[in-house]
């Protein structure tokens, strides 16, 4: 069961990471990237590191996403080809 | 170009994959992390440091110097951001939130931008708020759902941060985690109610001291420990009350200082 959870989470991590790298719409990339952080947060918690999980949720999913959102608002939403 | 980038990715990825494959199993008892200092921390950590949480014991006591430098790094990051030239909006004298009219042109979303842009510019703050009233016509109001959720969540998040700060010695959490949540509360409130309005919550005179709280507390505790034990940042092994007191000062300073620094980083993007 534990290994299945890990496998699913790692697959999700890889999938979200690849999607972020391929996304042309930067807003979509930011949203998926915060999903990546939340998945990683679950992995930390599952691996017995609640301290790291809390930091990941607050900084990775929360603060960093807002930073990127402000940056997009100041620049443009579409990646230049 | 493309084959070269693929080759580069392969060159980076191959050592990484080989390295990860060579790691010991997650629960292997003979893994290097279990055969060196870790065992000693687990066996004698509570007796030697007085902290009931192993993470706190390692962070503040066994690896106190690392944490000291970490705190200094965070403070330096803020100093570097504040030292950046801000282009035509630069006006070092005005307080955050007291924006000059010239700021309007750069702060407003461009016509081509869509929904995202509205999230990052300050919301209309009503007629009471003089500083934002001038640009109200450019600002799209925040969705009532977001406003409601942030309003409801903010007190709970603040309580959560306080709980992590003050119970960090026995439960997961501590200064750095509390700082992250404190900062997140400030930023969420700033996005919904306007960063200028949130900036005024922080007293201007006290701000430099709050931002430097982490390094200052470390210097103070290090000096205190030096007086007691003869070592810089030394903790008296026999006196658990003093040790916990020193740890408490450090945790609170890390929590408050880190939170203020995070919030200030975001405020400096607006003001």
pLDDT digits (tens, 9 = 90+) for B241-269: 888 888 888 888 999 899 999 888 888 77
Looking at residue B37, what is its pLDDT? 77
pLDDT surpasses 90 at B189? no
The whole model's pTM is what? 0.72
Residue B141 pLDDT exceeds 80 = no
Q: How far is CA B23 from CA B26, B27, B31, in A?
A: 8, 11, 9
Question: What separation in angstroms does the CA of B43 have from each of B34, B49, B171, B181?
Answer: 12, 12, 19, 32
Integer Cα distance of B55 and A1 in angstroms: 28
Reply yes or no on whether the pLDDT at B110 is more than 80: no
ipTM over 0.85: no
Q: Do A51 and B174 touch (CB under 8 A)?
A: yes
Query: What was the pLDDT predicted at A20?
Result: 93
Residue B123 above 50 pLDDT? no
- Reported as a pLDDT band with limits 50, 70 and 90, residue B136 is very low
Indicate whether A65 pLDDT > 80: yes
Decide if pLDDT at B271 tops 90: no
What is the pLDDT at residue A16? 95
Contact state of A47 with B116 under an 8 Å Cβ cutoff: no
A73, B113: Cβ pair inside 8 Å?
A: yes
pLDDT of amino acid B88: 54
In B, minimum Cα distance to A2 occurs at B26
Of B61 and A8, more confident: A8
Compute the average pLDDT of residues B32-44: 78
**Residue among B160, B178, B184 with most chain A CBs within 10 A, to mutate:** B184
pLDDT band at B1 (very low <50, low <70, confident <90, very high): low
Please list, in sequence order, all residues whose beta carbon lies within 8 angstroms of the beta carbon of residue B124, skipping any fewer than 6 positions away: B132, B136, B139, B141
Chain B residues whose CB is inside 8 A of the A74 CB are 120
Closest CA to B35 of B19, B21, B24, B45: B24
pLDDT of residue B107: 43
pLDDT in tens, B155-172: 999 999 998 888 876 777
Per-residue pLDDT band for A47 (boundaries 50, 70, 90) equals confident
Q: Name the residue among B200, B182, B207, B174 with its Cα closest to residue B259.
A: B182
Distance CA B257, CA B135 (A): 32
DSSP conformation letters of B115-169: HHHHHHSPPP--TT-HHHHTTGGGPPPPPHHHHHHHHHHHHHHHHHHHHHHHSTT
Q: Which chain B residue shows the shortest CA-CA distance from A6?
A: B26
Residues on B contacting A at a C-beta cutoff of 8 Å? 26, 55, 109-110, 112-114, 116-121, 164, 172-174, 176-177, 180-181, 183-184, 187-188, 191, 262, 266, 269
Among all residues of chain A, which has the CA nearest to that of B112? A76
Q: Which residues of A touch B110 (CB under 8 A)?
A: 76
- Computed over every residue of chain B, the mean pLDDT equals 77
Residues of B in contact with A27 (CB under 8 A): 116
Q: What is the pLDDT of residues B201-238, one digit of tens each?
A: 777 788 888 888 989 999 999 899 888 888 888 888 77
Lowest mean pLDDT among B33-37, B125-129, B148-152: B125-129
Average pLDDT over residues B132-142: 53
Question: pLDDT-derived band of residue B71, with 50, 70 and 90 as boundaries?
Answer: very high
Instruction: Please judge whether A58 and B184 are an interchain contact, meaning their C-beta atoms are less than 8 angstroms apart.
Output: yes
Q: Measure in Å the smallest separation between the Cα of A1 and chain B Cα atoms.
A: 15
**Segments making up each domain of chain B, as ranges:** 65-85+116-270
Spell out which residues of chain A touch residue B174, defining contact as CB-CB under 8 Å: 51
- Statement: residue A21 has pLDDT above 60: yes
At residue B72 the predicted structure's pLDDT band, cuts being 50, 70 and 90, is very high
Contact flag B184-A62 (C-beta cutoff 8 Å)? yes
Residue in A with minimal Cα distance to B187: A63
CB contact under 8 A, A59 and B180: yes
B164 neighbourhood in chain A, CB within 8 Å: 54
Instruction: Read off the pLDDT band of B87 (50, 70, 90).
Output: low
With an 8 Å Cβ cutoff, are B181 and A76 in contact? no
Residue A73: per-residue pLDDT: 83
Look at residue A80 and tell me whether its pLDDT is greater than 70: yes
Our CA-based measurement puts residue B228 at a distance from the nearest CA of chain A, in whole angstroms, of 31
Compare all CA atoms of chain A with the CA of B172 and give the residue at the minimum distance.
Answer: A51
Q: Which residues have a Cβ under 8 Å from the Cβ of B237 and sit 6 or more positions away? A: B48, B243
Token pair for residue B8?
């580069």
Q: Does the pLDDT value for residue B102 go beyond 60?
A: no
């Amino acid at each position: 069961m534990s290994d299945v959870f890990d496998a699913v989470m790692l697959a999700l991590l890889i999938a979200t990471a690849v999607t972020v790298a391929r996304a042309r719409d930067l807003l979509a990339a930011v949203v998926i990237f915060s999903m990546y952080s939340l998945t990683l947060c679950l992995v930390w918690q599952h691996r017995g590191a609640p301290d790291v999980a809390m930091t990941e949720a607050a900084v990775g999913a929360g603060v960093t996403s807002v930073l990127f959102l402000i940056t997009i608002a100041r620049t443009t939403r579409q990646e230049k080809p | 170009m493309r084959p070269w980038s693929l080759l580069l990715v392969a060159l980076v990825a191959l050592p990484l994959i080989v390295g990860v494959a060579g790691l010991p199993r997650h629960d292997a008892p003979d893994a290097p992390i279990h055969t060196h200092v870790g065992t000693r921390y687990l066996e004698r950590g509570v007796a030697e440091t007085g902290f009931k949480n192993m993470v706190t014991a390692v962070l503040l006591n066994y690896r106190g110097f690392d944490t000291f430098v970490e705190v200094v790094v965070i403070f330096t990051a803020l100093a570097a951001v504040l030292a950046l030239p801000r282009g035509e909006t630069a006006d070092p004298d005005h307080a955050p939130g007291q924006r000059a009219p010239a700021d309007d042109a750069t702060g407003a979303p461009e016509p081509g931008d869509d929904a995202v842009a509205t999230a990052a510019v300050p919301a209309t703050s009503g007629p009471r708020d003089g500083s934002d009233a001038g640009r109200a016509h450019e600002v799209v109001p925040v969705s009532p759902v977001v406003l409601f959720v942030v309003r409801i969540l903010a007190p709970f998040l603040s309580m959560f941060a306080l709980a992590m700060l003050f119970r960090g010695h026995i439960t997961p959490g501590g200064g750095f985690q509390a700082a992250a949540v404190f900062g997140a509360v400030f930023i969420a409130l700033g996005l919904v109610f306007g960063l200028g309005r949130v900036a005024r919550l922080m007293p201007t005179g006290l701000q430099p001291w709050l931002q430097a709280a982490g390094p200052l507390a470390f210097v103070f505790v290090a000096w205190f420990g030096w007086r007691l034990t003869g070592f810089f940042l030394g903790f008296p092994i026999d006196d658990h009350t003093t040790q916990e007191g020193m740890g408490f000062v450090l945790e609170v300073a890390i929590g408050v200082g880190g939170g203020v620094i995070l919030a200030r980083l975001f405020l400096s993007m607006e003001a």
